[in-house]
Structure 1
Amino acid sequence: MSNRSPFVDQVVAHLNRVTPVTARFMFGGYGLFVESVMIALIADDVLYFKVDDQNREDYIAAGSEPFTYHGKGKPIQMSYYRLPGEVFDNLEQLVQWVEAAQAAAARSKSKSKSKRKKSS
């Protein structure tokens, strides 16, 4: 029996129709992972997907908002945007948006690896 919210269980089950996804509790929410790469997060029962310069415009065009939290006295915006409900409900579209989030996460991960190598 899961201690997670029903929303998290529902999202994980639905995304598993597209690709194997696991959820890990982190910072009061959940990180969603595909092959150990975080592609999405859930905070306050809202699903956000990883974005970068190559897929951010799709979210903006759909009217989505970025994940923002308050830290150090000011709002901090992360590179995750709310997944539009109509995309979540359409498996064909969802596959494309999951793949784009995976690609954004992979690019982000490779950028952070190259930054660490440069600072060594």
Structure 2
Amino acid sequence: MSTDKGFVNWCAELLAPLGAVRTRRMFGGHGFYVDDLFIALEMREVLYLKVDASTQPRFEAAGSHRFEYTTAQGEHGSLSYWSAPEEAMDAPSQLQPWGRLALEAALRAQAAKAPKARRAAAPRSAKPRRPASG
């Protein structure tokens, strides 16, 4: 389904106070990155923001709804993205607190996925050199 590029641009403008915004087409909609962190997606002209266990209750209280989808095989799924509250879509200053929650959730998710420090490799034992033939 095609998305109105004007809506995507408006969403990017709303998110701009949070940092450098980059968009990418995906899932039939668009993904939004702020400072290279994936924090939002747009589908059917609805902006969905990243949530986690600590931020989801605030989105629920604001009347937001979870991003849900149906696969080609008819299976239903959902992601940890909730719609931005309607009133927050009017101006960057109104979306900023919600965008900040999404950015913080993305940072926590990134920290949880961060690879653990590797152990230093054991020194390799030196093989004895063969005497030169001559």
TM-score by length of 1: 0.82
The one-character-per-residue Cα deviations of 1:62-97 (angstroms, maximum 9, x if unpaired) are 111100111243210100000011122254442221
The whole-number CA distance in structure 1 between the counterparts of 2:111 and 2:4 is: 31
Q: CA deviation at 1:19?
A: 3.1
Q: Which amino acid in structure 1 is aligned with residue 111 of structure 2? A: S
Q: Which amino acid in structure 1 is aligned with residue 84 of structure 2? A: L
Report which of the two has the higher share of helix.
1
**Identical-pair percentage:** 35
Contact 1:66 1:79 in 2 (8 A): yes
Contact 1:48 1:82 in 2 (8 A): yes
The whole-number CA distance in structure 1 between the counterparts of 2:5 and 2:94 is: 25
Partner of 2:127: none
Give the gaps of 5 or more residues in structure 1: none
The whole-number CA distance in structure 2 between the counterparts of 1:17 and 1:36 is: 14
Give the gaps of 5 or more residues in structure 2: 119-134
Q: Which amino acid in structure 1 is aligned with residue 20 of structure 2? A: P
Q: Which amino acid in structure 1 is aligned with residue 33 of structure 2? A: F
TM-score by length of 2: 0.74
Of the two, which has the highest radius of gyration? 2
SS at match of 1:39: strand
Runs of 4+ in 1 over 3 A off after TM superposition: 90-93
Contact 1:18 1:91 in 2 (8 A): no
Partner of 1:103: 104
The alignment of Structure 1 onto Structure 2 pairs a total of residues equal to: 114
**What RMSD over aligned residues (CA atoms) do the two structures have, in Å?**
2.3
